């Protein structure tokens, strides 16, 4: 009989154990200790004792599911949303907002210290409204053949099943009010079985609805959507594929304001989800940069100019570099719209060899960057080469922020200030911004 080598599998102790959480991670999981090993327990708060069962065990940590909570933390609150615990959109509605922010700030401080050896404070936190903060959301659509019903909502945690969402308190009220009537409208379409997803966006001049459909829509369905758009004062856009966008009704182009400027955008463009935090974030970045009339500023990963345009009003010149062509085109359009002629936008791949790109040959004395989750490893060495006085790094991933910080620190820069941005309350997303300076002065 042939025998095949099989490595020893780590057996999981399925017995019930009792633990007490002493911390909370950024994802809202309780952090406990058992026999010298860290145990993560979803739904457990610091100070709470519980009976748990291990579900995954590694050499240095384990995960467990809550069996029975034996005590309650004073930081435990009643979730506002009736779908919490089933819907995977929020993870921390049972946690008091102060503890959420404190835990995320502590995680950010720890990651920076672990990667760089520098002790920082991520406070004061840039605050958000507790609820009603999201101006953009993408909802899944799933047709159940047996029930002959279209379900619209968010996915369950670690599942492809859609939770039918009738309320969503984290959405801005104008979008939350659309949930039930929109679900009913889409359910009544002939194409209900062949819909992909729907995206809701709140521009300053009204709500947008972007519907992904897998087959061409019949005239009857388009009429129903037009009627819905009129009734709810919304602009409807149809997406037959990932590259086309068809406006269904004659609505004005969407826009939002930042720092008193008007930024027009395409419904598919990235815009910051939390308007309140975005306004504060832009103001904080400009304050940290200490913008002066003779400054030349570089804005990397600039999008359509969320930072670029406000900066331009205070400096000699600003250059924005972005890898998405449509965002660059919108940035150029918005610069003209706001009568700003000291901005140059470049469409370049910042993950490629940037040293040969035309913007790289220009001089700058201050730099701002706002990369995606992968960070900015490809541009850090060039930023050092530019030798700017100040660098502001805005991040949606504290791990890559901490990694990229080392390049600046090793080049003689100092971390002056750190802020945790409460961009996504009740979720595990952690956003932040850091000010670096070549001169160790207060900031």
Distances in Å between the Cα of 395 and the Cα atoms of 25, 263, 372 are 18, 22, 7
The distance from CA 99 to its chain's CA centroid, rounded to whole angstroms, is 20
Could you give the dihedral angle defined by the CA atoms of residues 357, 361, 365 and 369, in that order, rounded to the nearest 10 degrees? 10
391 vs 415: CA distance, rounded Å? 10
**Pairwise CA distance, residues 389 & 257, whole Å:** 29
**What count of Cα atoms within 13 Å lies in the side-chain half-sphere of residue 16?**
7
Q: Tell me the C-alpha distance between 254 and 69, whole Å.
A: 48
Least Cα distance to 371 among 431, 290, 297, 289 occurs for 431
Token pair 């995606």: residue: 372
C-alpha 320/C-alpha 259 separation (Å) is 17
3-state secondary structure of 104: helix
Report the sign of the C-alpha dihedral through residues 271, 273, 277, 279, in that order: positive
Query: How far is the C-alpha of 187 from the C-alpha of 224, rounded, in Å?
Result: 11
First to last CA, the chain: 72
d(CA 442, CA 416): 7
- Per-residue CA distances from 212 to 156, 177, 426 (Å): 21, 21, 28
The span from the CA of 150 to the CA of 214, in Å, is 15
Q: Which residues contact 249 (CB under 8 A, 6 or more apart)?
A: 226, 229, 230, 235, 236
Residue tagged active-site, from 80, 226, 302, 396: 396
Alpha carbon distance 65, 30 (integer Å): 11
Binding residue positions: 81, 87, 90, 168, 272, 301, 306, 322, 349, 370
396 belongs to the catalytic site: yes
174 Rama class: left (phi>0) / alpha (psi -120 to 50) / beta? alpha
- Whether the CA torsion 426, 429, 430, 431 is positive or negative: it is negative
State the catalytic residues: 396
């Amino acid at each position: 009989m042939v025998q095949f080598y099989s490595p020893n599998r780590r057996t999981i102790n399925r017995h019930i154990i009792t633990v007490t959480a002493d911390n909370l991670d950024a994802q809202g999981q309780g952090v406990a200790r058992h026999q010298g090993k860290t145990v993560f327990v979803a739904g457990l708060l610091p100070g709470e004792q519980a009976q748990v069962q291990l579900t995954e065990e590694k050499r240095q940590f384990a995960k467990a599911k809550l069996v029975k909570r034996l005590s309650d933390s004073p930081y435990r609150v009643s979730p506002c949303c009736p779908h919490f615990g089933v819907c995977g959109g929020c993870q921390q509605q049972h946690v008091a907002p102060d503890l959420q922010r404190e835990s995320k700030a502590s995680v950010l401080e720890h990651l920076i210290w672990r990667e760089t050896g520098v002790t920082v404070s991520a406070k004061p936190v840039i605050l958000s409204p507790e609820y009603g903060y999201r101006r953009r959301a993408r909802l899944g659509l799933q047709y159940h053949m047996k029930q002959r019903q279209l379900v619209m909502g968010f996915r369950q945690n670690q599942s492809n099943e859609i939770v039918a969402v009738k309320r969503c308190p984290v959405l801005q009220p104008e979008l939350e009010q659309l949930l039930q009537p929109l679900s009913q409208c889409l359910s009544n379409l002939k194409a209900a079985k062949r819909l992909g997803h729907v995206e809701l966006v709140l521009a300053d001049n009204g709500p947008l609805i972007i519907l992904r459909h897998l087959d061409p829509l019949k005239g009857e369905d388009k009429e129903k959507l037009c009627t819905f758009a009129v009734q709810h004062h919304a602009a409807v856009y149809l997406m037959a594929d990932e590259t086309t966008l068809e406006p269904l009704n004659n609505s004005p182009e969407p826009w939002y304001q930042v720092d008193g400027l008007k930024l027009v955008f395409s419904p598919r463009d990235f815009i910051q989800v939390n308007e309140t935090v975005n306004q504060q974030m832009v103001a904080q970045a400009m304050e940290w940069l200490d913008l002066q009339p003779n400054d030349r500023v570089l804005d990397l990963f600039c999008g359509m100019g969320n930072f670029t345009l406000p900066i331009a009003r205070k400096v000699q010149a600003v250059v924005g570099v972005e890898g998405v062509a449509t965002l660059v085109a919108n940035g150029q359009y918005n610069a003209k719209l706001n009568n700003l002629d000291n901005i140059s936008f470049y469409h370049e791949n910042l993950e490629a060899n940037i040293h040969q790109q035309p913007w790289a040959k220009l001089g700058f004395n201050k730099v701002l960057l706002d990369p995606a989750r992968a960070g900015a490893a490809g541009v850090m060495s060039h930023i050092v080469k530019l030798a700017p006085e100040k660098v502001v790094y805005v991040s949606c991933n504290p791990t890559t922020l901490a990694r990229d910080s080392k390049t600046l620190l090793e080049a003689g820069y100092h971390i002056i200030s750190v802020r945790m941005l409460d961009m996504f309350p009740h979720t595990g997303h952690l956003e932040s911004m850091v000010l670096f300076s070549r001169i160790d002065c207060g900031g």
